[in-house]
A and B are shown apart, each in its own frame.
Chain A
Amino acid sequence: GAVVSQHPSRVICKSGTSVKIECRSLDFQATTMFWYRQFPKQSLMLMATSNEGSKATYEQGVEKDKFLINHASLTLSTLTVTSAHPEDSSFYICSALLKGNRGPNQPQHFGDGTRLSIL
């Protein structure tokens, strides 16, 4: 149980285009989802917290107009990288919390990640 699916797993596109990444909880409802970014040989860095039906909370230094997050339902959050440039190339990972699970000791369930390459 608690499967999180990310799509696409890999995307290559030209500079200036916008890319949408989907994060779905397949067998549970997720009130809260998280978006992380990972550069090679670096740790996962939290970009934003996505809450169903409300605006996402972005971490310091993350441009909200650049990385648009929509959490329109209890099973889907999307991250759109707008006007992507080569420096946005990275590995993007989402995670989800089971609905009703609050508090810092609740485990996050992770997707497989999306490898984004901007040419």
Chain B
Amino acid sequence: AQSVSQHNHHVILSEAASLELGCNYSYGGTVNLFWYVQYPGQHLQLLLKYFSGDPLVKGIKGFEAEFIKSKFSFNLRKPSVQWSDTAEYFCAVNAAGGATNKLIFGTGTLLAVQP
């Protein structure tokens, strides 16, 4: 069965610090990978996604993620965080080439950026 692990449950950073949130998945086949963000009081929004091609994916608001197939990882990065990046971040995966859009989510990482 597919599963997604986010090892950092709660991260606190100062503004301008660099960010890396870990995401590892378990699945035997080809996957599509997603990062969603949920700002306080708002709905989940797509931050970036990987389907194929360049394993380094750039998303909105300066975020990027790198797919490392050998490590089953899709870590999220940002070189310099801002206070407005305070949010909860979810990694998700589904089976590429399948007929379904079913997403398997990680438990989320709560990021607090201190001004």
> Is the beta-carbon distance between A113 and B100 smaller than 8 angstroms?
no
| Contact residue among A32, A34, A49, A104 (Cβ-Cβ distance under 8 Å from B95) | A104
> Is the beta-carbon distance between A107 and B49 smaller than 8 angstroms?
yes
| Contact residue among A4, A43, A111 (Cβ-Cβ distance under 8 Å from B107) | A43
Q: How far is the CB of A90 from chain B (nearest CB, A)?
A: 14
Is the C-beta of B42 less than 8 angstroms from some C-beta in chain A?
A: yes
Closest residue of chain B to A111 (Cβ to Cβ) is: B43
How many residues of chain A have a CB within 8 Å of chain B? 25
Classify the interface of chain B: helix, strand, loop or mixed: loop
> Is the beta-carbon distance between B101 and A106 smaller than 8 angstroms?
yes
Residues on B with beta carbons closer than 8 Å to the beta carbon of A46: 102-104
Closest residue of chain A to B50 (Cβ to Cβ) is: A105
| Contact residue among A44, A95, A107, A112 (Cβ-Cβ distance under 8 Å from B42) | A112
Residues on B with beta carbons closer than 8 Å to the beta carbon of A93: 43-44
From known contacts A104-B95, A110-B44, A111-B43, infer whether A41 and B103 are also in contact, taking CB-CB under 8 Å.
Answer: no
Is the C-beta of B98 less than 8 angstroms from some C-beta in chain A?
A: yes
> Is the beta-carbon distance between B105 and A104 smaller than 8 angstroms?
no
Q: How far is the CB of B54 from chain A (nearest CB, A)?
A: 15
Q: How far is the CB of A23 from chain B (nearest CB, A)?
A: 11
Interface centre among A93, A102, A104 (most CB of B within 10 A): A104
Flag A48-89 by CB within 8 Å of B: 1 or 0 each: 010000000000000000000000000000000000000000
Which 4 A-B residue pairs are closest in the complex by CB-CB distance? A110-B44, A43-B105, A44-B105, A110-B43
